[in-house]
Chain A
Amino acid sequence: DSGVTQTPKHLITATGQRVTLRCSPRSGDLSVYWYQQSLDQGLQFLIQYYNGEERAKGNILERFSAQQFPDLHSELNLSSLELGDSALYFCASSSGGAHRSSGNTIYFGEGSWLTVV
């Protein structure tokens, strides 16, 4: 158990709908990351938050958004869903986020399986 909690574990929804994925980081971790894993694209970095502020952005679509709340939990909002959005969405956390040389390990949650039908 990595200590990163994600809900829901599984989600089936129709095209055009909107869903919210939730993540609770490990206790004490300030950084939260979102990754998408699909068969054809592998693990893709979406976005990172550090202590409530957006820190880095990856291949995140404009239809997707995220935020990190004062209690450090994070939500990933996916809207106008398309069939191609079906994937496993991972949240990860680390204690740091300001400088990689500090050696902060990134721990992943178990993921949220999203199926768009």
Chain B
Amino acid sequence: GESVGLHLPTLSVQEGDNSIINCAYSNSASDYFIWYKQESGKGPQFIIDIRSNMDKRQGQRVTVLLNKTVKHLSLQIAATQPGDSAVYFCAENGDGGSNYKLTFGKGTLLTVNP
């Protein structure tokens, strides 16, 4: 079946560095993508989203890039802080229907070293 997957299961960075988390998707019909952050013992927290009619979207310290040609999504976190340590999931909703079924990737564990 079609799925959303992550290139790197773990990422370790130094505090203050920039982090890049990657995600590949296989559903060419996907037109809406979301990044979630999940801290230990908590539910996924919305970070940023992007629609397929955009290549880039910026938030506070975060940027999402979408490359539809190679079906790749990335999340860039600027000046990474210890509080950014969490599992990051990309999710897509591209089933062609008018609902909000999200397909999640496996997640990437980001560890920020002080």
Question: Is the CB–CB distance between A2 and B99 below 8 Å?
Answer: no
- Is the CB–CB distance between A109 and B100 below 8 Å? no
- In which size bucket is the chain B interface? 20 to 34
**Residues of chain B lying within 8 A (CB to CB) of residue A96:** 100
* CB-based contact A43/B43 at 8 Å: no
The interface residues of chain B, by DSSP majority, are classed as loop
Instruction: Flag whether A111 is at the interface (Cβ < 8 A).
Output: yes
In the assembly, what is the distance between CA of A44 and CA of B45, in Å?
16
- Chain B residues near A97 (CB, 8 Å)? 99-100
Query: How would residues 99 to 117 of chain A score, 1 for a CB under 8 Å from any chain B CB and 0 otherwise?
Result: 1110111111111000000
Is the pair B100, A110 in contact by a Cβ cutoff of 8 Å? Answer: no
A100:B98 contact, CB within 8 angstroms: yes
What are 17 A-B interface contacts by the 8 Å CB criterion? A2-B43, A2-B45, A43-B91, A43-B102, A43-B104, A56-B97, A56-B99, A56-B101, A97-B99, A98-B98, A100-B32, A101-B32, A105-B49, A106-B34, A108-B43, A111-B42, A111-B43
8 shortest interchain CB distances as A-B pairs: A108-B43, A43-B104, A56-B99, A108-B44, A99-B98, A56-B101, A110-B43, A45-B101
